[in-house]
């Protein structure tokens, strides 16, 4: 049982983060934000696979000015990622952005961040303080022997937070990302004991799809298991759309949220009597668009299959020329191998109260 640490709730557009809200899934586009059409297309693809908040880079005024038009064409809240510039932040706010990611200590002089804070307050827009190990302030680095330590990351975050708090602004989220798991976890754990603002959790520069998935699963997973994290971003050097199913699998593996049924399958061995990879992929495709929380098991032999799948709500088990369909370990049907998927679909229809035939390829 995971006990989530209590945090304040902030609203990003109409999506709540923190408090009793579910852990939110987010990503960041890698298009040129000034190219409205491409950016909107990518965000729509992200929406389709379950992304709940999208962030865009705002490196110049043209990108900031594109925000209103992008927002018009998408459904999920939009976040502007801004470095150093109050002017860009102010323009993004004018354009109707739902959240700003900016580190107030980096905006000089302080009067300029005051303008941003006033504008955010007026429009009820939260600010994310995003500390990355790779860009810690020089004086903090020196305190820790020129090494970006977890303590230094926390110190940096608290410095930015204090600036906002002294300006009477508490609509804050925080992230503390490093490219290694240990520092990431240490930093978030320490910060979560000091503040109750919602935390945006992720491992940065995690790598391409395979490594990035492993790194994010361990880093984000360990934090979520410790009850830390209100919104997650899996960072992959890839199409950002690839990040979303990974994020959902992490949440589902920890039983925190489910976007579709969970399909487990046995690893196969010398007893496997069916093309299990093919069958599993068919079952996965079948339930892809069903939001129900359901455990489906796909097993490769009738010797161990029924027993191993007894915790599944429903299981399909391949045998030599025949297959079994079980519910909670009880065999309910024995069918010819050629009819296995069709018969399994009929049983699934009862569970999902839907006609799955349209999903059968």
Q: Which stretch binds ligand SF4 (CB under 6 A): 11-19, 25-33, 46-54, 300-308?
A: 300-308
Mark 305-344 with x for binding to ligand SF4 (rule: CB under 6 A) and - for no binding.
Answer: x--x------------------------------------
Q: Smallest gap, in angstroms, from Cβ of residue 263 to ligand SF4?
A: 14
Nearer to ligand SF4, 273 or 347 (CB): 273
Q: Which is nearer to ligand SF4, 215 or 315 (CB)?
A: 315
Q: Which residues contact 306 (CB under 8 A, 6 or more apart)?
A: 299, 315, 317, 324, 326, 329, 331
Q: Tell me which stretch binds ligand SF4 (CB under 6 A): 130-138, 159-167, 210-218, 261-269.
A: 261-269
Please report how close the Cβ of residue 312 comes to ligand SF4 at its closest, in angstroms: 12
Q: Hunting for tokens 């102010």 — which residue is that?
A: 90
Stretch that binds ligand SF4, among 35-43, 149-157, 186-194, 267-275 (CB under 6 A): 267-275
Among 267, 353, 355, 361, binds ligand SF4 (CB under 6 A): 267
Per CB under 6 A, 279 contacts ligand SF4: no
Task: Tell me which of 304, 322, 329, 346 binds ligand SF4, using CB under 6 A.
Answer: 304
- DSSP string computed for 257-271: --SS-EEEE----TT
Is the omega angle on the peptide bond into residue 109 within 30 degrees of 0, that is, cis? yes
Binder to ligand SF4 among 132, 268, 354, 359 (CB under 6 A)? 268
Report how far residue 303's alpha carbon sits from residue 320's, in angstroms, rounded to the nearest whole number.
11
Least separation in angstroms between residue 342's CB and ligand SF4 is 22
Scan for tokens 């993004």, then name that residue.
92
Cα–Cα nearest to 247, from 203, 285, 207, 196: 203
Q: What is the DSSP letter of 287?
A: H
Using the rule CB under 6 A, is 266 a contact of ligand SF4?
yes
Angle at 55 between CA 219 and CA 124, to 5 degrees: 110
Query: Strands (DSSP E) along the chain, which ranges?
Result: 10-12, 15-17, 24-28, 53-57, 78-81, 99-101, 127-132, 172-177, 200-201, 231-232, 262-265, 295-299, 314-318, 322-327, 330-336
Determine the size of the site formed for ligand SF4 (CB under 6 A): 13
Rounded least distance, CB 297 to ligand SF4, Å? 9
Are the C-beta atoms of residues 177 and 203 closer than 8 Å to each other?
Answer: yes
CB of 320 to ligand SF4, least distance (A): 11
Q: Where are the alpha helices (DSSP H) in 288-328?
A: 305-308
In the region spanning residues 47 to 86, those forming contacts with ligand SF4, defined by CB under 6 A, are none
Residue 168 interacting with ligand SF4 (CB under 6 A): no
Given a contact cutoff of 8 angstroms between Cβ atoms, the answer to whether 157 and 112 are in contact is no
Q: How far is the CB of 199 from ligand SF4 (least distance, A)?
A: 39
Task: Provide, rounded to whole angstroms, the least separation between the CB of residue 83 and ligand SF4.
Answer: 51
Sign of the dihedral defined by the CA atoms of residues 210, 265, 233, 176, in that order: negative
What residues make contact with ligand SF4 under the rule CB under 6 A?
A: 266-269, 271-272, 299-301, 303-305, 308
């Amino acid at each position: 049982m995971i006990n989530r640490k209590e945090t304040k709730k902030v609203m990003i557009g109409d999506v709540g983060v923190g408090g009793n809200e579910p852990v939110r899934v987010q990503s960041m586009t890698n298009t040129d934000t000034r190219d409205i059409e491409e950016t909107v297309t990518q965000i729509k693809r992200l929406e389709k696979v379950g992304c709940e908040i999208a962030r865009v880079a705002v490196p110049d005024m043209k990108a900031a000015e594109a925000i209103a038009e992008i927002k018009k064409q998408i459904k999920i809240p939009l976040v502007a990622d801004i470095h150093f510039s109050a002017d860009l932040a102010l323009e993004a706010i004018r354009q109707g952005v739902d959240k700003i990611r900016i580190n107030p200590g980096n905006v000089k002089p302080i009067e300029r961040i005051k303008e941003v804070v006033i504008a955010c307050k007026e429009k009820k827009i939260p600010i994310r303080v995003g500390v990355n190990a790779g860009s810690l302030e020089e004086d903090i680095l020196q305190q820790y022997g020129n090494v970006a330590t977890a303590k230094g990351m926390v110190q940096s975050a608290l410095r930015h937070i204090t600036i906002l708090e002294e300006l009477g602004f508490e609509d804050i989220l925080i992230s503390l990302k490093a490219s290694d798991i240990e520092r990431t976890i240490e930093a978030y754990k320490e910060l979560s004991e000091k503040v109750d603002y919602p935390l945006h959790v992720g491992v940065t520069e995690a790598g391409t799809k395979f490594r990035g998935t492993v790194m994010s699963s361990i880093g984000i997973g360990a934090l979520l298991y410790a009850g830390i994290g209100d919104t997650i971003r899996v960072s992959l050097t890839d199409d950002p759309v690839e990040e979303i199913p990974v994020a959902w699998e992490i949440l589902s593996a920890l039983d925190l949220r489910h976007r579709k049924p969970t399909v487990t399958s046995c690893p196969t061995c010398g007893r496997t009597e069916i093309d299990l990879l093919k069958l599993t992929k068919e079952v996965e495709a079948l339930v892809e668009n069903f939001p129900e929380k359901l455990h489906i098991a796909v097993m490769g032999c009738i010797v161990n299959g029924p027993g191993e799948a007894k915790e599944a709500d429903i299981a399909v088990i391949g045998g030599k020329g025949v297959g079994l369909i079980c519910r909670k370990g009880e065999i309910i049907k024995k069918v010819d191998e050629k009819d296995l998927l069709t018969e399994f679909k009929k049983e699934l229809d009862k569970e999902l109260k839907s006609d799955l035939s349209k999903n059968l390829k």
